[in-house]
Structure formats: C-alpha cells, structure tokens
Amino acid sequence: MKMIKVSNLVHSYLKYGKTEEDTISVKALDHVDMEIDKGEFIAIIGHNGSGKSTLAKHFNGLLFPAEGTVWINELPTSDHKNLGQIRRTVCMVFQNPDNQIIGATVEEDISFGLENMQIPREQMQDRIDRSLEAVRMTDKRQANPGSLSGGQKQKTAIAGAVAVSPECLVLDEATAMLDPKARREVIGIARELNEKQGITIILITHFMDEVAHADKIFVMDHGIVAESGTPEELFREPELLEKYRMELPPVTRLAYSLRKKGLPVRLPVMEPEDLAEQMERIYRGEQIC
Ligand SMILES: Nc1ncnc2c1ncn2[C@@H]1O[C@H](COP(=O)(O)OP(=O)(O)O)[C@@H](O)[C@H]1O
Ligand SMILES: [Mg+2]
C-alpha cells in the first residue's frame, strides 16, 4: 500500500482579469504522477511557482483534483467522507510561523489542534508532553507564543502537528523564514521524527543543503515532475538542476570544479567534511576513485 499515490493530477487556478474575457485559467499542476512510501524522507524542490505548494495542499485535502486522483493510504481525497481520516494522516506545517499559532500559550495552541482533530481529552496531556519533547520545547510549555523566536514558533507548529500522531508530515518551506541555526534545528527534528518515530516526511524547500539526506527528491518545474532520484543521482551533475534554476550547495559545486580540473574527487560531494577528507587523502597520494 502506498502512503501517497498521485495519478494524472491536474490543478488549475482562475486568474481574474479586469473583464470576464481577461480571466484565464492557469495550470499549476499538469498531469502529475507520484508515489510515496510510508517511512520515506522525501524532498520536493523547484523554483517559485513550479507547483510545490499546490501539490502539497492536495496531500491533505486542502485542494481537490480537477482531473486525476490523489490517494492517501488508498483513500481518495475527492471523497469528502475520507477527509477527517486524511487530515489526521497527513499534517502540514507552512512557511510563516506567525500565521500558524493561535493559542495564548504553547500548550493551549497544541491542544486547539487536538480538539480540532477530535482527539479524546484524556489523551491530550500525554500527547502534548510527547510532542513538546520531540521538538525540545518542554520548557516553553507555558510560554506566550508572541515571545518566541521564529524557530521556536515553527517548532511549536511542528509539535502541534506531531501531537495529532500523523503518519506523514509535510513541511512546506517551513524553514524559509528562519535563520541558519534555527533552520538546521528544524531539519534535524524532521530527520529525528523520521528515523525514531517512522513519520513520513515531505520536505518542500529551496535550500539544497536540506535535501542531502532525503531518500528521494522530486524536482518540480512548471507544474510537472521534471526529475526524480536520490540526492546522489541528482547532485552528480550541476547542469541537471541548474536547468530548473536550482543551485547546488557551494561545496557540491566546488567538488565538481575540482574534478573538472583533474583532481580525482569522488562525486557527488554533499558535505564539507566529505570533501575535506577526500582532499586529505588526495594530498597524501592515496587512490580514492
Ligand atoms: N490561490 C491562487 N490563485 C491563483 N493562482 C495561484 C494560487 N496559488 C498559486 N497560484 C499559481 O499557481 C502556480 C503554482 O504555485 P505554487 O503551487 O504556489 O508554487 P510553489 O509553491 O512551487 O511556489 C503559480 O503560477 C502561482 O502563481
Ligand atoms: Mg510554495
């Protein structure tokens, strides 16, 4: 059974002009097919406007297919009877930390989400405890969300989602407004949720360094899935992603340039430590490729 299966999905938005004749339909998703297994760490990348958020909103029934079908654990999103179940299965965290928190305290915010999902009251405290622990925010339980940093707000939003016990968490550019340290922390938490709790993660981002550990990457371009593969497959040739206006991490490009200059660097390089180690071995005259 596929956790998420997307078949032939088309989504169009109406773009309103001054007159009815000026109003046009814009295809944001143009026959998308995709399959995601339970427990995978998936990254979806692509330039602005390529259709990533539109696709994400189909994963938990915030949008419905004009054509094609989206199944979550075999339940089609087009059937309204399935929506409660689907929204407990796939939870979303969005870009702007300020738009997602409504409670007067962190704890209250998480309990609102649980009430919305009709989680029994007697389970609430335990779920709040565990989700705050998972994002390392236990000490902020009674904090006023207004006093939190952007990173802490996103961690609260993640805790709110995790408390629902979803099988899948979609982070739609959830790190875009964070500083590098908070960004790393949020990505670290996503990896931990995936590895320790088996939660399927769908990470939508335009930071290439965040996708280095994904099991699989989908590259969106103009409403289609233009490429898919492991980070190793997609990061081997900078030209492959540059075609879609995506830029590789500096260390990946540097390794590629060194290789072009004739140094026997093993590609792709995703982490500075890997390149440093390879350079040391090359310097010592060891054979590495
Ligand atoms: N609510 C909307 N109304 C009209 N057009 C939209 C709306 N949301 C997105 N679009 C358009 O759909 C396309 C895909 O957008 P989106 O899914 O937000 O892409 P991404 O998340 O990759 O930046 C873009 O051309 C965008 O302008
Ligand atoms: Mg988006």
Lowest mean per-residue pLDDT among 17-26, 137-146, 249-258, 271-280: 17-26
Distance from the CA of 171 to the center of ligand 2, in angstroms?
A: 10
- 199 pLDDT more than 70: yes
Q: Whose CA is nearest to atom 24 of ligand 1?
A: 49
- Determine the Cα–Cα distance for residues 194 and 188; give it in Å rounded to an integer: 10
Q: Ligand 1 pocket, 244 CB below 6 A?
A: no
* 276 alpha carbon – ligand 1 mean position (Å): 41
DSSP characters over 205-239 = -S-GGGGTT-SEEEEEETTEEEEEE-HHHHSS-HH
Comparing 62-71, 104-113, 231-240, the range with the smallest average pLDDT is 231-240
Instruction: Give the number of the ligand closest to the Cα of residue 220.
Output: 1
Expressed in angstroms and rounded, the spacing between residue 28 Cα and the centre of ligand 1 is: 6
- The answer on pLDDT for 173 being more than 80 is yes
Average pLDDT score over residue span 238-261 = 90
Contacts 24+ apart (CB under 8 A), 52-57: 52/172, 52/173, 52/204, 52/220, 53/172, 53/173, 53/204, 54/11, 54/13, 54/28, 54/29, 55/6, 55/9, 55/11, 55/29, 55/220, 56/92, 56/170, 56/172, 56/202, 56/204, 57/92
Residue 39 CB less than 6 A away from ligand 1: no
- Of 26, 47, 63, the one to substitute when testing ligand 1's pocket (max ligand atoms within 8 A of C-beta) is 26
Q: Which residue is closest in CA terms to ligand 1's atom 7?
A: 13
CA distance 123 to 103: 19
For 49-105, write each residue's pLDDT tens digit. Answer: 999 999 999 999 999 999 999 999 999 999 999 999 999 999 999 999 888 888 999
Token pair in block for residue 274: 């890997």
CA 48 to ligand 1: nearest atom: 23
**Spacing, Cα 17 to ligand 2 middle (Å):** 23
Residue nearest to atom 26 of ligand 1 (CA): 49
Q: Which atom of ligand 1 lies nearest, measured to the CA of 54?
A: 17
Closest C-alpha to ligand 1, atom 20? 49
**Is residue 200 a contact partner of residue 38, using CB atoms and an 8 Å limit?**
yes
Angle, to 10 degrees, between the axis of helix 121-134 and the axis of helix 180-197?
120
pLDDT at site 31? 97
- Please give the pLDDT value at position 289: 59
Higher pLDDT residue, 51 or 270?
A: 51
**pLDDT grade, residue 288 (50/70/90)?**
low
Phi and psi at residue 15, to the nearest 5°: -105, 110
Strand order in the sheet with 75-76: 24-36, 4-15, 67-72, 75-76
Distance CA 152, CA 137 (A): 8
Q: Which residue has the higher pLDDT, 286 or 277?
A: 277
Ligand 2 mean position, distance from CA 204 (Å): 8
Closest ligand to C-alpha of residue 23 is 1
pLDDT exceeds cutoff 90 at 234: yes
Write down the mean pLDDT value for the chain. Answer: 93
Mean pLDDT (whole number) for 2-28: 92
Residue spans of the domains in the chain: they are: 4-230
Which CATH number describes the domain made up of 4-230? 3.40.50.300
Quick check: CB of 52 below 6 Å from ligand 1?
yes
Q: Is the CB of 114 under 6 A from ligand 1?
A: no
Say if CB 29 and CB 55 are below 8 A apart. Answer: yes
Question: Pick from 108, 153, 161: which is nearest to 131 by CA?
Answer: 161
